[in-house]
Amino acid sequence: MGHDDNIKSVLLSLLRRDAPDFNAEYITFGSIGKKSPAHGKALAVYRGTIRADRILKADDLLKQIIGQ
């Protein structure tokens, strides 16, 4: 896919500040089909027809991943 490697690299850099032994294999990317509710929601937010339910910041994501 497009920017997977770049995104994974940034995530690993951030994660390894707090968890130096974090396994890179835990980060995977997959496709979301066009019939998925997630696809419809993301597209509507992108087009501006609806507002995002919430906006995650890097710290929010890191807390979810490493559990702090």
| Residue pair 61/17 in contact by the 8 Å Cβ criterion | no
Mean pLDDT of the chain: 89
Q: Tell me what the mean pLDDT of segment 20-29 comes to.
A: 91
**If you count them, how many residues does the chain have?**
68
Instruction: Number of helices (H) and strands (E) in the chain: give both, helices first.
Output: 3, 0
pTM: 0.59
CA torsion through residues 48, 50, 56, 61, sign = negative
The answer on pLDDT for 1 being more than 70 is no
pLDDT tens readout for residues 6-15 = 989 988 998 8
